[in-house]
Structure 1
Amino acid sequence: MANGPDRCFHCKDELFTRISTELVGKLGLTAVAYGENADDAVRPDRPGARAATEHAVLRPLADAALTKVEVRQVARAFELRCADKPAAPCLASRIPHFQEVTPAKLAAVEAAEAAVRALGFTDCRVRHHGEVARVELLVDELPEP
């Protein structure tokens, strides 16, 4: 709820802690991996990556130097349904740092994004700014003037 710049660290730390304590032994896992790719690995604004490092979580896509575009190409080659799935970052990322994350704000963002997608836009973000929302759309999906 505090929503500082390191919010993703705390979330991923909790996730990887739970996986380690609840699933690794139960499922007999020898390693845990997540989907960081080469594009993600070079971005300095990804505190969740620090949690992955602290929990020794593997990054096979980044280690293979696969970019987001290349990951999608591989997924298409294997005819995976997720090949063209839009990115789905956490809804809390739509709320500016240091503004409290609440269930009501998250629900409002989720509902607004669903409404925009219902209009035919495939990828969008609705940023919550109190009484104002900022809608981000792909330029390619905007109608020509």
Structure 2
Amino acid sequence: MPIQPQTPSSGIGLYRVGWGISGLAIAFLLMDASMKLLALPVVLQAQAELGFGGEHVARELGAILLACTLLYAAPQTAVLGAIMLTGYLGGAVAVKMRVGDPLFTHVLFGVYVGVLVWGGIYLRDARLREMLPLRSDARERKQPAG
């Protein structure tokens, strides 16, 4: 049975907002990936300051980021893409911490993008909201028989 994207039962509003948030994350990540794939001078300079050198490293990181973002953009593989992007962004946070960049503007930027990634997919996928509810209602819990 093929997996079909599901609109939320509470209406199309959450679904559209979710895609809007995901769209912002996807646009940013595609721009970042393309800049790395092109090995632009600004990318090479920033990577050198972080301890990464060479065009080949920029292009490899760009290819990895592009693959993760494309997986995230496709509804059938969005959760896998979000998980892979979480790993990629976690690596970015670790590198920024290692070089001593400012916390809220540089180090946590990967966390901010991750919140957009997961927030967008959470709003657009009713199945994910069912698996990971933000709160549980005691009335909805079934009492064990016995």
Query: TM-score w.r.t. structure 1 length?
Result: 0.26
Relative contact order, higher structure (CA 8 A, sep 6+) = 2
Whose helix fraction is larger, Structure 1's or Structure 2's? 2
Q: Work out which of the two has the higher radius of gyration on C-alpha atoms and give 1 or 2.
A: 2
Query: TM-score w.r.t. structure 2 length?
Result: 0.25
Whose strand fraction is larger, Structure 1's or Structure 2's? 1
